[in-house]
Structure 1
Amino acid sequence: MLSRVMTGIEDIRTFYARLMAANAGSRDPRLEAVFAEVPREAFLGPGPWRIVAGNGKITTPSADPAHIYQNVLVALDDAKGINNGEPFLHAMWIGKLALRPGEAVCHIGAGTGYYTAVLARLVSPGGTVTAFELDAKLAELARQNLEAYGNATVVHGDAVTTPLPPSDVIYVNAGVAAPPAGWLKALRPGGRMIFPWRPAERVPLAVIVTRTEKGFACDPFMRSWFIPCVGASVAGPAAKIPTRDQAARSRSIWLTSDKAPDRTATAIFGDVWFSSRSLGGRPRN
């Protein structure tokens, strides 16, 4: 006869954190510690919760937080298609950014603040997170949820039109046709930005950008899909839209004010363009 073992939420959260760290492939032991420390349920509202599954949604059997310590998407606003994000994906992205204590982070598309809290813990002590959220309701929830995180500030506003603070890391959780020039300019030397690049419906990629002495290096490293970023998700009529192969071959990003597009251009969006040439290297064929 099988006996039933009752597991406390602490054990469940610990195992969830181990899964996050393993999927991230990061050598930073703080990543596991932070995912174990930050309570996901505190950012999702009272349960039961709506879980995105396939083309529909299912409701958890109860308000037991054990149900949401899995790699599941939890709906935040059904009507707008907004969810809390896939934990495995975010763990991988955050691990790839290799955040350090003391760094300044800008989080664009903060939702209700769960991953903002993770970022805030990883840059402590001495670091700060400025979180932008365009939706008024979500921004207010994020503000309330992050009150216990003294180094995180929520801005209810448009990160596309509002100047970003100088940042060591920019973490973008909304799909853009191209990153606005202001985002690139906000990166400090050595700064990193990760964003969902969606120049066309058929081209959903995640890209990490690093500001070096020679310019902005970029690496499209995986497929990714996020809800569109208002004000930055539609390319203008004069844009050069890349094919999936061209987008994947992009190795640097340039401001047209610094350098005019040349034959290596894989995509052009007004004041920003992508090149197949790595910084100081040859074009990627």
Structure 2
Amino acid sequence: MAAHAASADPRLEEVIAAVPREAFLGPGPWTIIAGNGKVETPSADPVHIYQNVLVVLDADKGINNGEPFLHAMWIGRIAPKPGEAVTHIGAGTGYYTAILAKLVAPGTVTALELNAGLAARAKKNLESYGNVSIIHGNAVESELPPSDIIYVNAGVMAPPSCWLKALKSGGRLIFPWRPADRVGLAMVVTRTAQGLACDPFMGSWFIPCVGASLAGPSAKIPDRQQAASSRSIWLTADKKPDRTATAIIGDIWFSSRALGRRRR
């Protein structure tokens, strides 16, 4: 996982090794998703979950503990630092919350989970983590605390404006952008002095985020090429969409113009 993350932070390998995945998944055997199907592990030996596999948490709702390699890349990309404040949206049972908490300690992690059962499990699993707060609630309808990092594990048509407003200077928001059925990209948004820079850096598919996965009839929906060309993100209240708009969804729009690049 640490090697796959391509991170310059030597702590990442130590933290991954220190957080036991099985402690967040309930007793085995476990149902894992490998290849194109689900399979039950042949035993409760944790060796079966120390692979790059999804582990089913709620089969009826399609909720899983995500692929370790993907999360390693995401965590490496946002580069958590000691003392930072993280908001984790879609925390599940708390495995990746725990990794983030160790990386930012003595900073804090506020973890939101919409599913009541999973939120209760996360709260129990993270009892020993003094810098973590678990909230059972809808992150789309909640006011987020000021955050250096917002780590989102549910697909959105566009990030709610309240998420963008919660980002501190230099803050990073990482989320699965799903503006169309066949378009799924991991997006990093960084608050700079010039505005909100964005970078769609890899393919990514997550279950939809309740309350942020539908668009109105006036939305401009991008194809994959347009989505991948997005370089900045704006609130329509701050700047009206122009000809560089790759997507317009609600009160948010994406532009192909990088921050600081002049019009021609």
TM-score using structure 1 length = 0.91
1:94 is aligned to: 75
**CA displacement, residues 79-136 of structure 1 (integer Å, 9 cap, x when unaligned):** 1111100000000000110110000000000000000000000001x20000000000
1:21 aligns with 2:2: yes
Identity, in percent, stands at 75
The equivalent of 1:214 in structure 2 is: 194
Larger radius of gyration: 1
1:50 aligns with 2:26: no
Is it true that 1:112 corresponds to 2:93 in the alignment? yes
Say whether the 8 Å CA contact 2:215–2:250 is kept in structure 1: no
> In structure 2, what is the equivalent of residue 59 of structure 1?
40
TM-score by length of 2: 0.98
Q: Distance in 2 between matches of 1:270 and 1:77?
A: 31
Q: Give secondary structure in 2 for the equivalent of 1:263.
A: coil
Work out which of the residue numbers 57, 61, 65 in structure 2 matches 1:84: 65
- Mind listing any 5+ residue stretches in structure 1 that lack a counterpart? 1-19
Deviation at 1:164, TM superposition (A): 0.3
**2:229 equivalent in structure 1:** 249
How do residues 118-129 of structure 1 correspond to structure 2 at under 5 angstroms?
Answer: 118-124=99-105, 126-129=106-109
Please tell me whether the aligned partners of residues 15 and 102 of structure 2 are also in contact (alpha carbons under 8 angstroms). yes
Q: Deviations over 1:158-204 (max 9, x none)?
A: 00010000000000000000000000000000000000000001110
Taking the aligned partners of 2:189 and 2:262, their CA distance within structure 1 comes to: 18
**Count of residues in Structure 1 that have an aligned counterpart in Structure 2:** 263
Kindly state the Cα deviation for residue 66 of structure 1 after the two structures are TM-superposed: 1.2
Deviations 1:53-87 (A, max 9, x none): 23321111111111111111110011111110000
Structure 1 CA distance, aligned partners of 2:160 and 2:98? Answer: 25
Pairs within 5 Å for 1:1-285: 20-124=1-105, 126-281=106-261
For the residues of structure 2 that align with 1:203 and 1:51, how far apart are their CA atoms?
25
Aligned to 1:6: none
How far is the alpha carbon of 1:27 from its aligned partner?
A: 1.1
